[in-house]
Structure 1
Amino acid sequence: MSILNTTADILKLMSQLKRGITAGDLITHLQMPKSTASRVLKQLCETGFLQRDPATGSYQPGLLLIETAYLVHRVSSLTDDIEQALRALCQSTGHTGYLSVLDGDEVLVLRVIPGRHALRVITHPGTRSPAWETSTGRALLSRFSDEQLAEHCSTPQAATTLDFTAQRKRIHTIRQQRWSYAVNEAVPGTASVSCSVHNPQTKESIAFCLTFPSSMADQQEILLLAEQLYQAAMPIGKKYGDPYWLS
């Protein structure tokens, strides 16, 4: 089991550092002897877990990991169901669609569906934004209890920038209406309306939104899009047994 534990520790370190790793990283962060670090990295390359970047000398995820991650991503039926519904909305509205997940106190963009209406800024897959400043983030946070929300607000960055009382009231409203919106917040010049769906079996929660120029964000447009997203999210939520959409 030791080699499996070592491999897991190395992959966790890569995830924490959010970059390729070197033998020096294993020595510094995992207290691994230099000879062991070099040998393990070589073995992981030979077995396809890692691959070495000749330009930087760092070790990146190998083909085996990439293929496995792709397989996991493809069998996520919730993601596919949401994307299918969102594509139909993007086609009918002309707006850009995003699928995002919560990662700590940030939202991470998974997929983008371009729309016909030009946006000043296009957010690409892999982009992260503060959860409290996005409609997708707040749609996901609305699933948290007040205690969990308070914990999210306890990070040093959040504590200095957030009015928790005001945000909690906002989240309560989102929880009741089951949709969220944002205008000129994380991305200036844009507005968005979001819903989220949770799969209790896999513990996966995904938010999806329609994003459009903030110049179009009058109350009528926001309410119209909210109703369309609501109607798209409800059958998906019921399909997966999401209590949020069963009540």
Structure 2
Amino acid sequence: MDDLEATSWFVTYPQFMLSRRLASNNRRDISRNHNVASIDMTDLYLLPPAPGDEPRGTQSIGRAVTLLRAIASRGRRGIRIDELVGMSGLPKTTCVRVLGRLCREGLVARDGHTNKFYLGRLLYELGLLAQPRYRLGEACEPVLRRLAEHTRDTVYLSERSGFEAVCIACCVGDYPIKAVPLDVGVRRPLGVGVGGVAILAALDPREASQVVGGIGRRYTGFDGLTAARVLRHVRESVSIGYATGPSPGAPGALSVGVPFPPVLASASITVTALSNRMGAARQRRLAALVKAEIDGIAADWNAAIGI
């Protein structure tokens, strides 16, 4: 059992991050000694199996999870079957068959009027029992609230989950016209949206390239995005110290995202506002403001674990 597995179920966040740091060091040592890829080994289980590598009998499970992830990427907006076919790469007949079973089990719900699919009630009920080991959203709640009050805009906290970024918290400012393109709980491939780009920018360049390559064709389901465009965006973000760009699903909105130091958390904080409020000078000020808050979180965590 490695350091992560040995962590107590009720571990505090700073304690968890210390064990994560130790485990990360162990993985780097293994990578150095055996010349293996630098990608985080705890995320390998999320890579799609190579053709012929998937054990017999598990294909249906993999297809079901692929469809659930695609549905989750659309949040409360729902998604139609043709979009699911394009995002999953599965034949339409397979999608229809798997979705039918997921609907019968309550894992997926279909709106008969719009023919859109949504995550089902059973997933919500099961999620009530899914106790996380730590709650990054709770730890950052005062910071998100402070940023929203100061900027009057919408502030998001996104965390890496394998090859995806998940919105785990959101705080809306009091500016009269809102830009709220992302629901809490929505997950999208890393690189789709500024929060995910910021997370990639904080990674080792080799790992970032491997992650983007692993996502591959999933990008095309997001307005024709490509891996090459994502990597170019990541490099630009590294050069200026933060990520900036349009917000997918919110025309006229623009975001600025700053990553956490990866040794503490693979996450980012993003401020989103109408583009006419996001000139270059304000983008720089927002990035500096968010970075100062993240530095404060890092200092608190380091103090809590005696570093």
- C-alpha separation between the residues in 2 aligned to 1:135 and 1:59? 30
Task: State the Cα deviation string for residues 167-198 of structure 1 (Å, max 9, x = none).
Answer: 54543453465422213555321111112225
Structure 1, unaligned stretches of length 5 or more?
A: 1-9, 20-27, 30-51
- C-alpha separation between the residues in 2 aligned to 1:240 and 1:121? 30
Structure-2 change in CA distance of 1:217 and 1:153 (3 Å): same
1:97 to partner: Cα distance: 1.1
- C-alpha separation between the residues in 2 aligned to 1:94 and 1:12? 42
Paired residues of 1:98 and 1:208 also in contact (CA < 8 A) = yes
AA partner of residue 232 (structure 1): E
1:233 to partner: Cα distance: 0.5
Structure-2 change in CA distance of 1:193 and 1:62 (3 Å): closer
Structure-2 change in CA distance of 1:156 and 1:16 (3 Å): closer
Q: Paired residue for 2:136, among 78, 81, 85?
A: 78
Matched, 1:151 2:210: yes
Paired residues of 2:212 and 2:231 also in contact (CA < 8 A) = no
User: Map of 1:80-159 to 2, 5 A cutoff?
Assistant: 80-117=138-175, 118-119=177-178, 121-154=180-213, 155-158=216-219
Determine what percentage of the aligned residue pairs are the same residue.
Answer: 18
AA partner of residue 87 (structure 1): R
Q: Paired residue for 1:60, among 122, 125, 137?
A: 122
The 3-state SS of whatever aligns with 2:281 is: helix
Paired residues of 2:159 and 2:168 also in contact (CA < 8 A) = yes
Paired residues of 1:101 and 1:107 also in contact (CA < 8 A) = yes
Q: Name the residue aligned to 1:197.
A: 260
- C-alpha separation between the residues in 1 aligned to 2:278 and 2:124? 44
AA partner of residue 149 (structure 1): A
Structure-2 change in CA distance of 1:127 and 1:66 (3 Å): closer
Q: Name the residue aligned to 1:18.
A: 68
The 3-state SS of whatever aligns with 1:236 is: helix
The 3-state SS of whatever aligns with 2:122 is: strand
Larger Rg: 1
- C-alpha separation between the residues in 2 aligned to 1:230 and 1:128? 23
Q: What is the root-mean-square deviation in Å for CA atoms of aligned residues?
A: 4.0
Q: Name the residue aligned to 1:45.
A: none
- C-alpha separation between the residues in 2 aligned to 1:186 and 1:104? 23
Q: Name the residue aligned to 1:228.
A: 289
The 3-state SS of whatever aligns with 1:188 is: coil
Q: Name the residue aligned to 2:277.
A: 216
Structure-2 change in CA distance of 1:60 and 1:91 (3 Å): same
Aligned residues: 199
- C-alpha separation between the residues in 2 aligned to 1:94 and 1:169? 30
More strand by share: 1
TM-score normalised by structure 1 residue count: 0.62
Paired residues of 2:156 and 2:270 also in contact (CA < 8 A) = yes
Paired residues of 1:184 and 1:190 also in contact (CA < 8 A) = yes
The 3-state SS of whatever aligns with 1:153 is: helix
